Amino acid sequence: MRLRYLAPIFFTLLLSGCGESYTPGNLYMAATPECKTWQEGSRFELPRGMSVATTPPVTLPEGGAEFTFVYILPRGERARFLTRDYNVTAPKGAVLHKAELVTLYQRTTNSRPEIVDSIPKVPDMFVASAAGEETLWRVRVRVKAKLPQRFDVVAPAFEIGLKEYPMRTFTYRYFPERKAFGLCS
């Protein structure tokens, strides 16, 4: 008789332990509308110990830029891209440009990088290698067209463990004193 009353409590406790606790950080990098402060880098934590990081882009002579994103996945993990587009947008606005893939390489933290130089698009999925504690993917994309003084780059969102997760929108502006585009907050 007692078991009948305890069973709902037991199953509630059991199921609550199965859920994954993940609260994303700021999905939009800029802390102020002016976005005046230079940032050396930005790292966005994802569930299951995954993350994506970026640093200031390389400003191209014709006004475009090359952006690098480093994805880190622990051994045994995988993440599927919901799209393959790296979009440059007006601040919280419409798409201005789609960045083109320049290079992609993958390596474990204890191995040398393997360059992949002729890949037409970002792969469907990243799968961590069993050969190292973590696997890194370095994705470099480029926009040749002249970029505005302030813009965002929206990296593709992920599906991790059959659940969709948003990605941070990285914010950029032109810093005249540095004569370069940079991450800003």
Q: Are 73 and 79 in contact (CB under 8 A)?
A: yes
pLDDT tens, N- to C-terminus, the chain (185 residues): 444 444 444 433 333 344 568 888 899 999 888 899 999 999 999 999 999 999 999 999 999 999 999 999 999 999 999 999 999 999 999 999 999 999 888 888 877 766 655 567 888 999 998 888 999 999 999 999 999 999 999 999 999 999 999 999 999 999 999 999 999 99
> What pLDDT, on the 0 to 100 scale, is given for residue 16?
37
Provide the pLDDT for residue 4. Answer: 46
Residues whose CB is less than 8 angstroms from the CB of residue 122 and which lie 6 or more positions away in sequence, other chains included: 81, 84, 86, 101, 104, 139, 156
User: Would you state the pLDDT for residue 172?
Assistant: 97
Residue 79: the pLDDT is: 96
pLDDT of residue 115: 60
Q: Spell out the domains of the chain, with CATH numbers in brackets.
A: 25-184 (2.60.40)
C-alpha closest to that of 184 among 55, 21, 20: 55
Strand (E) positions, the chain? 38-39, 42-45, 51-54, 58-59, 65-74, 78-81, 87-89, 95-98, 100-108, 114-116, 125-127, 134-143, 150-154, 158-160, 163-165, 169-175, 180-184
pLDDT of residue 122: 85
171/185 Cα distance (integer angstroms): 7
Q: Could you tell me how far CA 67 lies from the centroid of its own chain?
A: 12
User: What gap in Å lies between CA 23 and CA 1, rounded to an integer?
Assistant: 40
Yes or no: say if 165 and 20 are a contact pair by the CB < 8 Å rule.
no
